[in-house]
Amino acid sequence: MPAYVDPIERRLLADPVLLGDIAEAVGGPFHVLFPERVSLNIKTFQQAFTAAGVDGFVYFGKKANKAACVVRACAESGAGVDVASTGELVAALSQGVRGEDLMVTGPAKSDELLWLAARHRALIAIDALDELRRLGELELPVRVLLRVLPEGSNSRFGLDPMELEQAIQAISGSITLSGFSFHLSGYDVVARSELAAALVGHCLRARANGHPADTISIGGGFGVDYLDAQFWAKFQNTLSANWFHTNPATDYYPYHFPVPGAAMLSAILDHQNLAELLRDNEIRLAIEPGRALLDRAGSSVFRIQGVKTRTAQGNPYDILTVDGTSLSLSEQWFDSEYLPDPVLWPTRPGRLTPTCVGATTCLESDLLSRRRIPLPRRAHLRDLLVYPNTAGYQMDSNESTFHELPLPPKVVLHAAADRLRWTLDATSR
Ligand SMILES: *Cc1c(COP(=O)(O)O)cnc(C)c1O
């Protein structure tokens, strides 16, 4: 199941020495990031707003990746950042994102986070009534959105209709009600579009009570297309436990996503002409994509430090041990598996070899790939295994120094005119 790759990654994989040189320099597993691709993804969303004639703004959902080069790309591309902790807020500021371009989300925000957000004039998505009370006590001018609990949802986030009413009543003095927000799990276009239309109604009622209420945020959850439709359909239709070293996962990300990213935004704006409703009422639409801004913007590289051969139903297959852990791929920690095929580097001709991939830990279950992937040749010690498209949630959301292994550094790759150039990300220096 080969993943779609960005042109810069294709260049990296085709370069006969660069990956090997980086591996030698950093001496362990590492992640590679392509910030130019983040800028391109941001631009694609901005163009979708322009094409629909909607005043829109992109905030990057920062929890999806910690790299400094990603927020730097946001600052340079006219995007803001959606943060949920003081660490994320400071990291965004330190890469040049202005306070006024920050959106502060997350439940039960700490006093420190609220104070910093107010000091930096960030937009604050209120998740509970006491946050409003605590903001009022700061006596600083602040702008807030009220995060709405969607009807019929049992989410632990957001304000229910009673709380919403109380919140609107409570807002006065130093607090400005800028509008309303939501964030839905799942990837449904219609649900997002129709809830957005409902929030426009909330804005109009709030305006009648003298609030500016000119902004709504529809959160994140813009899908990413990792795999071609045919590969994905074949996987789903012929899935067999025999393909796996141990039991397969039961739940997977929808790795083929027909209307991803900015195209999904266009579909949301198109449904029942949401774009016109926003225009007619002069409402600015904020979005908070995390994963979608990182599409094809990074990969994770492991060095092979062991190769064993096992047999299942009479068929031999290899089990690799790489120099990192499945914490750098994250999906196993949600009882799932990352399915886009890793690339064995350097590429050489050979014999198709079913291969699964274990971690350099003493946990039986710590496998990066339980699936026996048909690699184009046998892997050898010191070869590299490159997992593609890992920047969105895969690479660093669950990493730890388990076994006292160092955290894999992040390498930033730029396409210079003559060649690819690399440096360490500011978070890895
Ligand atoms: C996680 C999160 C996002 C980003 O979600 P993606 O699925 O990565 O797009 C945006 N907004 C809020 C409030 C979130 O919690």
> Would the CB of 217 count as within 6 Å of ligand 1?
no
Helix (H) or strand (E) holding 206: helix 189-208
Are the CB atoms for 328 and 399 separated by under 8 Å? yes
**Per-residue pLDDT, 316:** 95
Number of domains in the chain: 2
Q: How far, in Å, is the centroid of ligand 1 from the Cα of 322?
A: 31
Please state the rounded mean pLDDT for residues 139-145.
97
Is the pTM higher than 0.95? The answer reads: yes
Same domain membership, residue 172 and residue 75: yes
Q: How far away, in angstroms, is 42 Cα from ligand 1 center? A: 15
Reported as a single tens digit per residue, the pLDDT across 20-49 is 999 999 999 999 999 999 999 999 999 999
Specify whether 70 is located in the same domain as 27: no
333 — pLDDT class (breaks 50, 70, 90): confident
Indicate whether 162 and 216 sit together in one domain: yes
If DSSP codes are grouped into helix, strand and coil, which group holds residue 89?
Answer: helix
Q: Is residue 231 part of a domain?
A: no
Residue 332: pLDDT band with limits 50, 70, 90: confident
Q: How close is the Cα of 48 to the center of ligand 1, in Å?
A: 19
CA nearest ligand 1 atom 10, residue: 220
Residues 289 and 358 in one domain: no
Residue nearest to ligand 1 atom 5, measured at CA:
220
Range of the domain at 353: 7-33+296-428
Q: What is the pLDDT at residue 21?
A: 97
Q: Report, as an integer, the average pLDDT of 205-221.
A: 97
- Tokens 């902004």 found at: 215
**Would residue 346 count as lying in a domain?**
yes
For a ligand 1 pocket test, name from 65, 70, 105 the mutation site with the most ligand atoms within 8 angstroms of its C-beta. Answer: 105
Cα 201 to Cα 208: distance, rounded to the nearest angstrom: 11
Flag whether pLDDT at 250 surpasses 90: no
* CA-CA-CA-CA torsion sign (51, 52, 57, 61): negative
Our answer on whether the CB atom of 222 is closer than 6 Å to any ligand 1 atom is yes
Q: Which ligand 1 atom is at minimum distance from the Cα of 64?
A: 8
- Is the minimum distance from the CB of 82 to ligand 1 under 6 angstroms? yes
Confidence of residue 390 (pLDDT cuts 50, 70, 90): very high
Ligand 1 pocket member 183 (CB < 6 A): yes
* Segment among 58-67, 235-244, 292-301 with least mean pLDDT: 235-244
220 Cα: distance to centroid of ligand 1 (angstroms): 4
Distance 116 CA to ligand 1 centre (A): 21
322 band by pLDDT with thresholds 50, 70 and 90: very high
What is the per-residue pLDDT across 114-129, written as a single tens digit (0 to 9) for each? 999 999 999 999 999 9
What CATH code is carried by the domain that includes residue 404? 2.40.37.10
Work out the number of other CB atoms within 10 angstroms of the CB of residue 317.
18
Q: Considering 294, 310, 342, which residue would you say is the last residue of a domain?
A: 294
Specify the range with the lowest mean pLDDT, choosing from 197-206, 247-256, 400-409.
247-256
Res 335: pLDDT: 86
The enclosing domain of 198 has a CATH number of: 3.20.20.10
Residue 17 has pLDDT above 90, yes or no: yes
Q: What is the mean pLDDT of the chain?
A: 97
The arithmetic mean of pLDDT across residues 67-91, rounded, is: 98
For the CA of 59, the closest atom of ligand 1 is 10
Centroid of ligand 1 to alpha carbon of 99 (angstroms) = 19
Pair (56, 106) in one structural domain: yes
Position 334 pLDDT exceeds 90: no
| Contact between 139 and 129 (Cβ < 8 Å) | no
Please state, in angstroms and rounded to a whole number, the distance separating the CA atoms of residues 339 and 261. Answer: 19
Distance 323 CA to ligand 1 centre (A): 31
Q: Answer whether the bond into residue 258 is a cis peptide, omega within 30°.
A: no
